[in-house]
Structure 1
Amino acid sequence: MSEQNEFMQEAELIEVVENQLEDGNPIKVKETLMRLMMTGNSRDDAIAMIACCMSIEIFDVMKNEGEFNLKRYSSNLERLPDLSFMEGE
């Protein structure tokens, strides 16, 4: 399997975030989107930031064959837009 097939593409991550927003679950995603937009970020930029938080979780699940960590995901969402994606969360 190629690297391209192993990891979700950006469009797929955005689709996951959009589905979370539509479902209202977790509610922290909608709260984060609203907060980021109220502080001057465009909707597209805010969704991209949220998708980066999602990618951290998906990568961890794939790497460690574990479960999605909602607590860490929520914590990372709270840290936006200041979350450094280079920290190796």
Structure 2
Amino acid sequence: MSSEDPTKAGEVMLEVVDNQINANDPPLVKETFNRLRKLGISRKESKKYIACALSVEIFDVVKNSNEIDYDRYFGNLKKLPEMPWDDE
């Protein structure tokens, strides 16, 4: 793995978040983005928070060959800005 891979992965995650917000699909992503913005969190940081919630799902898909757990993803979105791993 090159040192650029983590950067590229982060860029791809943020692109996915942008696409979800712009398409309003799923709607909870845009709602979460707007909620975080109302809390005073910057656009960039709000998208990073959402990307963190999404990364939990992507990691599980890759590691365990599971499908995305939308219930968990949506639950983690609702908890933001608390991070999904803060409960651990």
Tell whether the structures are fold-level matches, with TM greater than 0.5.
Answer: yes
Identity percentage of aligned residues: 38
In 1, Cα distance between equivalents of 2:63 and 2:86: 17
Stretches of structure 2 that go unaligned for 5 or more consecutive residues are: none
Report the TM-score when normalising by structure 2. Answer: 0.86
In structure 2, how many angstroms separate the alpha carbons of the residues matched to 1:16 and 1:63? 19
User: Residues 76 and 84 of structure 2 are in contact (CA less than 8 Å); yes or no, is this contact kept in structure 1?
Assistant: no
Deviations 1:6-64 (A, max 9, x none): 9x611100000001111111100000000000011001000000000111000000011
Q: Considering fraction of residues, name the structure with more helix.
A: 2
- CA–CA separation in structure 2 for the residues paired with 1:67 and 1:84: 18
State whether residues 53 and 84 of structure 2, in contact with CA within 8 Å, keep that contact through their aligned partners in structure 1. Answer: no
Q: Which residue of 2 aligns with 1:62?
A: 62
1:10 pairs with 2:24: no
CA, structure 1 residues 71+58, in 2 after alignment: closer, same or farther (shift >3 Å)?
same
TM-align CA RMSD: 2.0
**Secondary structure in 2 matching 1:68:** coil
